[in-house]
Structures are given as structure tokens and as C-alpha cells.
Structure 1
């Protein structure tokens, strides 16, 4: 997914004007050096102390943490799905995957990221290039159609055994993604459709109100134990551990009929329903 995303971003940037690219470069330099004045001094020093383009390029790469950024990107090379991304994060945390990044390099990357984020927030209200290159919706709308995931791969990632069950859950979550705008049947999801499916099936229950992830250890456990549950699994969470109680709760949640595979999101809803029922009966 990261590879596809970088390709999409690169294609988007190629369609922008020189003015826009210059603005992005300015912001990145400010993010690296901490202020516009320091960034301007850096450029002047590079020009003054390096006589050839090759010397200037080498000095710029060194000063802009080029090799550190490149090393960071290789950590996520070949990752083309949400499940692979979280699996890599888990591998990094448990030490089975070595990033090759030193503590100083990690701190440098974090500092650049925070400064870049701050600069974008400071200018996001500015109007340039018709509503601004930093209009997130505009960027997403440009990039998303170029990054696609097959329906079969998406379904299998979410551990849905058959297309019929998968489609029922898409309908349940109000994700009307079966047809294209020209009324032909879809064969692929674009990036935003793909992420929206993942969000509804699993991820949103691990996010704070601001959209940042919480309880990553618990999310890792879900990836390891399984993203779906059967009726037999769900039954164990009812008070009497019987199917009659389970069916009652599933009916109250308006769950589709004739389904035996349930996304993790449904387990969360069911558990909340069972806990609320117990609390009501305890009064």
C-alpha cells in the first residue's frame, strides 16, 4: 500500500505547477531547519561553498537527511495492504524486523514530521492553486482513483470466505460499492473505498476522536487471533452461552440473516449490547 501511495503522490505532484512545487519545497526546508531564516541561510551557504551542481546535490542530500528518509521508506517497501502494514509495525515493535535506523535518525524524522505538520496547519487556509494544494480532500480525490485494490484481495484480507457474505456486510455498513458510476460492476476498490471498508470492518474501534490510533497492542492481537468471528465464537460472550440469547442480540442490531462470519466491528457492537443488557437487568 505504501508503494502504491508513493506512486500516486508522485503522479499528483507531477501534475502541479512550478509555483506549487516551490511552495512544497519551501515548507519542507522550513520543516528540516526549523525556521524560514535558517532555511534561507542554508541555501545561500550551499551556493557559496559549492561550485558545481554535483557538490551542491551531495551537500543538500546530507543536510536534508536524504539517506535517513530513504532508509525509513525502505522499511515499508513492498507493503500493499492494511494488514501487511500493521504486521510490519508489529514486527518492528517485537524486534523481528530491524529498521536499521538509529535513535538519532528516528528523532530527526520525528522532528521533521512535526515541523512539516505545523507548517501545513499554519498555511492551510491560504488560497493558492484554486483552493490550495493542501486541501486534503482535493489531494485525496486526485490520488485515490490511481491506487486500487481488487475486491477478491480485499475480501480475503478481511478473512471473508465468500463474496456473498462480504457483500452482505458491505450493504449492512451502507457501503454501496458494488457498481461504478457508469453502472458497471466493480472489480476493484480505489484507495478511499478500501480504507473505508477497513475502517468499518475493523479499524474505527481503535481510533480516538481525532482519528489517531489507540490501543495498538490490542489491534495487533486482533490481527493475530483473527478479524472475523463465527456464531459459535459470539455465543461465548452471552450470559448463558446459548444461541437464543445471541440471536436476540443480533436481531436487535439488525444483523443480516444466514451469516456465520462476523467482522470484528460486529463483535464490538454485540459486546456493548450484551453489557448494556446486563446493566439494565442489574437494576
Structure 2
């Protein structure tokens, strides 16, 4: 007899995280217009925001007519400019600057699936991580978000994975469990020629990345990210560095387990970072930051490009 795993019931929070799946322009309009109208009619809320592909924004202007002046329409290439962690920063910054009391605002959000967000299986997995962790990061906010997934660009596998990160789909997974699943695959071993450092000293990291082809400004930024991450992790047992520009990689090994799937994703309360917020800086700078805990500590791998 096959046992069916019960679908977890999402814990109610002020954050209303929805998902719309469509495969045609008229289906997009049918989902988006009522959502934006809901925002336009909500009391104590600023204008709703639609972040989508430029052609989709044109569809919304036509469908909304005069109401389009009441909505904020943003090309998604202006919003999604980097990693999933950058998207967290963008969202948190916008809510802080523009949301109503308690974070009240309606956001329609379409990732750039034919750009960075969909260029590889790994990048897509990072986006699913962002979608899952959004349920925790924005839980205290009374924000209503509709994530728009176009099957013509996102693809079936991505859509099915994203359903597990949205509480309104019926297949929602606990965010911690879903992110642990994303991290269940072991990291590839460092190459045989990786440089070994007892400590990630700034001069050594800067010199090594420069030799590997990073421009001076990029070498400096990556070095700052490595040193900030090392400070946040505590005593580093050793560091390894390898790769060629732009994909330079530094791996930090520490005796302390990170333990928190939100590490480096929680927006800092002030512009000046505290030492324990170094992973936030690293996630903003690097294309990827992989964290793997084990019984003896953690391995944190930072890839610049």
C-alpha cells in the first residue's frame, strides 16, 4: 500500500504569497488585471506594482486603460539585476521606501526567465530557494505578492518546483525542508590545483584573484566578500581558491555549523554592516554562495561570477 504524504498546512502570516501560471498572453492579463484592481481598491495602500517583461506591461496598459495611471509598471530587467539574494534586497528596499502601514502593497512579479534566472538548472534552483525563503523573510509584512510564471519561458520543471514554494498551490512545502532538499546534493570537490590558505588574508586573496584574471575592481570586491564571510563564520580552518575570471571561487571551511537557511538573506537593519552580517554582503556580491553543514562544521563556497 502506498502512503501519501500529507500536504503541510501553511502557517497563516500577513504575507500573502500567490502564484499564477499561464501559457498565453490573454491568460496573463486574466490573472494580472484582477490582482492589480484588488490593489487599486485596497484602503491604506500605495499604488500596486507590476514587475514584468516590457511586452507584458504593454498588455497591462491596454487592459487597464485609464486605471493604468494608478499602477506602477516596472520592466523586470530593472528589478531583477543579479542573484536571488539581490532580489531579496530589491524587494526589502522597495517595501521600506514605498509600502503602506505594515508593508501593505500589491506586487505582481515576473522573473526574467530568459535571462539570468533561467540560464541554468543551478540558477533556477537558486530562484526556487528565493521563492521558498520569501515565505519566512517577508512573513511579518502585510504584503500581497503574485508571482507570475509563463510556461513558455519558465518551463515545466521550474513551474512545478515553484508550486512547492507558494502556499496557495496545494503542494506547498515547508521552506526549511524545501531548501534542505536543494542543498542535499554534495558540492563538487575542489580541483586538484586549488590554492590552499591557512587563513583568507586580504592580500593573498586579492593577489590570487588578480592572477586568475579578475579586473582590479572585481578582485577587490570579491576579496571584500570573502573576508566579510570569513568574519561572519568565525574562525576559519582553511580556505581554498580556484577558477578563472569571472568564475573565481573561494571555499571557506569552519568548525562552526551555520545551521540557519536564512543566513545571509535577512536584510540588515542599517547600512553599516555588523561583523555577523558578512554573509549578506557576500550574497549581494557573489553569483552563488553555497552553504553545507556537516557534523564537524560547515563549508561555505563563494563564486564571484
Regarding TM over 0.5, the answer is no
TM range (shorter): under 0.3
Greater C-alpha radius of gyration = 1
Structure that is richer in strand per residue: 2
The TM-score normalised by the length of structure 2 is: 0.27
